[in-house]
Structure 1
Amino acid sequence: MMKRVPTVLVLSKSLFYRLRVVVSKANDRGDVPGWVLVAVMTAGLVTAIWLIADDALTSVFDRAMTSVSVRN
């Protein structure tokens, strides 16, 4: 009888943990709408900044490339 009690406890504990994992996975839907919103807003901000500062960004890039270019 003493040997059966620990075995029953181990099996019930194992079953409890497995059920908990299954239930937690079933309720885990993630935050897809939040990530979609972040991605869309980031794309919108990049587009807006690009439209507003296109000339300034182009000149900064050209100056940076000129300053690091190899001169003969």
Structure 2
Amino acid sequence: MFTATLTRMRVALRDLHDDERGDVPGWVLVTLMTAALVLAIWTLAGPALSQLFEQAIARVSGM
């Protein structure tokens, strides 16, 4: 009885471990797509954000 339970627990833990490996190519794709989106947004919004930052600093410093 104890051996059968132990064997079932080992199988369940092995299956759980195998499920946790994930999909490596999928994660690579998600990472690359996220980096591309950040780069695209930064390219489009970068000048406006820089100007906004400079205006804020100028107002705070009184220049």
TM-score between both structures, scaled by the size of structure 2: 0.66
Equivalent in the alignment of 2:47: 55
| Uncovered stretches (5+) of structure 1, i.e. residues with no partner | 1-8
Structure 2 runs not aligned, ≥5 long: none
Aligned residues: 61
- CA RMSD of superposed structures (Å): 2.3
Q: Is the aligned partner of 1:17 residue 2:12?
A: no
Q: In 2 relative to 1, CA 45–27 (structure 1 residues): closer, same or farther, beyond 3 Å?
A: closer
Give the TM-score normalised by structure 1: 0.61
Q: Percent identity of the aligned residues?
A: 43
